[in-house]
Amino acid sequence: MSPTETTDAKSAETKKDGVKREISVEIPADEVARETEAIVQKYQKAARLPGFRRGHVPASIIRQRFKEDLKSDVVEALVPRYFRKEAEKLGMIPVSQPRVSDLHIHEGEPLRFKASFEILPEIKVEGYKELRADKPEIVVKDEEVEDALNNVREQHATFASVEGRPLADGDFAQASMDGKPKEGDDKTKPVHMDEVLIEIGGKNTVPEFTANLRGANAGDEREFEVTYPEDTNDKRLASKTLVYAVKVQAIKQKNLPELNDDFAKELGEFSNLDQVRKQIRENMLAERKHTAEREAKDKLMAELVRRNDFEVPESLVERQIDVRLERGLRALAAQGMKMEDMKKMDLPRLRAGQRDQAVQDVKSSLLLERIAELEGISVGDDELNHELDALAQQTKQTPEAVRARLTQDGGLDRIRNRIRSEKTLDFLYHQSA
């Protein structure tokens, strides 16, 4: 038998429970011996032992001195290889790492072990051709366009200083402020802001600010308490009382630009105000259509999952929980949460809270994959290349560099699968058109 030739192993399924499987594998003794000899030779080349030149330690010494290490290396080399081969031979595609038990390894004997793992369920997807998506009529009213236009106008407001009189309703106080929680409250964080604009009498201004700053002059300081209601927008301040010290630096008056064609030209490639209104309407329509389509697709998937109940591998659920948590933590980091605060979070509770949605995510993904197979939906190289070009632009890399990186970590397959799922969901959404 040549050094590269392997003797057939023996394998058999020993347990079958839903998506859980267990197989027993026996690797022939001569294959174990061959692998052991190869590893012994590697040890001989690298081992440094007193009384022997490097590379000249006898094999018998290596086997005696490194007995347990050799066993571990043989197991590490042979078990994964034969597990994959024997599972495939039995027609199983594992979706989880195997849990190895009943390991038997003795010199001159076959290597035996059992491996427990999960496989994908058999999915007989039903009822997907009868699914019908909600497609409501999308309208944008004239008054909504005008409100949006006025918001644009507000964004282009200018502020001019006013001198010789105190603050009055409609004015803006340019101020600095420090807010401290009342004594005994060590949980609420202090507030500090420089050069903030406070509208006196504004609909979004906290009433206590208006009441205490009305009539103040530039250079004046005011100190007052604010007790925030339970339904305040900033939940961190709900039902809290802060003591504010506010210094008025200047009094400002807001000036709005006139709504005319000159204003339209300042906004960009518009020659008149009607073109601005048309663009606003088109943008609002596109956004509402996108939102309506996303909500309709969410309902479609919820109904598809409801019609097709099946067991999902726990390993895939745990993997999806990891994905959801990582996405959530990245969002918190982007919002400014510090790493030490993240470490204090109750991860087991967070994982438990993500579980139900993770199960739905996995079921949705498996169902879309099955429908794609049934309908012959695939992803062409041009579609994949288009996605890679977009990623390259976002990350300011060459498409070749992006492809090389994604090829190494399996990212290309993930992108291809995501595009395929999106195309399949589009198919379900448009099939009732």
Cβ neighbours of 237 (radius 10 Å): 20
Q: Is residue 210 part of a domain?
A: yes
Q: Is residue 145 part of a domain?
A: no
Does one domain contain both 228 and 282? no
Mean pLDDT across 280-295? 96
Alpha carbon 8 to its chain's center: 44
Does one domain contain both 296 and 387? yes
* Contact between residue 129 and residue 218 where contact means Cβ atoms under 8 Å apart: no
Q: In the chain, how many domains are there?
A: 3
pLDDT exceeds 60 at position 6: no
Half-sphere exposure of 39 (CA within 13 A, CB side): 20
Question: Cα dihedral sign for 191, 197, 200, 203?
Answer: negative
Question: What is the band of 433 on the pLDDT scale with cuts at 50, 70, 90?
Answer: low
Q: Is residue 183 part of a domain?
A: yes
Does one domain contain both 71 and 107? yes
Does one domain contain both 220 and 312? no
Does one domain contain both 288 and 399? yes
Does one domain contain both 75 and 166? no
Q: Which of the pair, 234 or 48, is modelled with greater confidence? A: 234
Which among 85, 73, 86, 77 is positioned nearest to 23, based on CA atoms? Answer: 86
The contacts of residue 235 (CB under 8 Å, 6+ apart) are: none
Residue 7 has what pLDDT?
Answer: 57
Q: What percentage of residues in the chain have a pLDDT greater than 90?
A: 62
Which of 221, 255, 289 finishes a domain? Answer: 255
Does one domain contain both 77 and 203? no
Residue 56 has what pLDDT?
Answer: 67
Q: Is residue 127 part of a domain?
A: no
Q: Is residue 142 part of a domain?
A: no
The contacts of residue 212 (CB under 8 Å, 6+ apart) are: 222, 224, 246
Half-sphere exposure of 302 (CA within 13 A, CB side): 10
Residue keyed to tokens 């009189």? 165
Tens digit of pLDDT for each residue in 232-257? 888 888 888 899 999 999 999 999 99
Does one domain contain both 335 and 405? yes
Burial 210-232 (b: 16+ CB within 10 A, else e): bebbeebebebebeeebebeeee
* Contact between residue 72 and residue 111 where contact means Cβ atoms under 8 Å apart: no
- The dihedral over CA atoms of 176, 181, 186, 191, expressed in degrees to the nearest 10, equals -20
Tens digit of pLDDT for each residue in 161-205? 999 999 999 999 999 999 998 877 777 888 899 989 999 999 989
The contacts of residue 415 (CB under 8 Å, 6+ apart) are: 384, 387, 388, 406
Mean pLDDT across 91-112? 92
Characterize the bridge pairing of strands 111-118 and 99-104. Answer: antiparallel
The Cα 312–Cα 359 span in angstroms is 7
Q: Which of the pair, 21 or 408, is modelled with greater confidence? A: 21
Tens digit of pLDDT for each residue in 348-357? 898 999 999 9
* Contact between residue 312 and residue 366 where contact means Cβ atoms under 8 Å apart: yes
Across the chain, what does the average pLDDT equal? 89
Residue 13 has what pLDDT?
Answer: 77
Cβ neighbours of 336 (radius 10 Å): 7
Does one domain contain both 168 and 20? no
The values of phi and psi at residue 21, to 5°, are -135, 155
Q: Is residue 74 part of a domain?
A: yes
* Contact between residue 266 and residue 250 where contact means Cβ atoms under 8 Å apart: no
Q: Is residue 196 part of a domain?
A: yes
Q: Which of the pair, 292 or 14, is modelled with greater confidence? A: 292
The Cα 257–Cα 235 span in angstroms is 35
| Domain containing residue 224: CATH number | 3.10.50.40
Residue 5 has what pLDDT?
Answer: 44
The residue segments making up the domain with residue 164 are 158-255
Residue 3 has what pLDDT?
Answer: 42
pLDDT exceeds 80 at position 48: no
| Domain containing residue 399: CATH number | 1.10.3120.10
Does one domain contain both 334 and 426? yes
Query: What residues form DSSP beta bridges with 181?
Result: 242
Listed in order, strand segments (DSSP E) in 216-276 are: 221-227, 241-255
Does one domain contain both 426 and 347? yes
Q: Is residue 417 part of a domain?
A: yes
Say how many residues make up the chain: 433
Burial 254-281 (b: 16+ CB within 10 A, else e): eeeeeeeeebbeebeebeebebbbebbb
Which of 222, 255, 288 finishes a domain? Answer: 255
Characterize the bridge pairing of strands 20-27 and 111-118. Answer: antiparallel
Does one domain contain both 197 and 290? no
Residue 4 has what pLDDT?
Answer: 42
The Cα 396–Cα 39 span in angstroms is 45
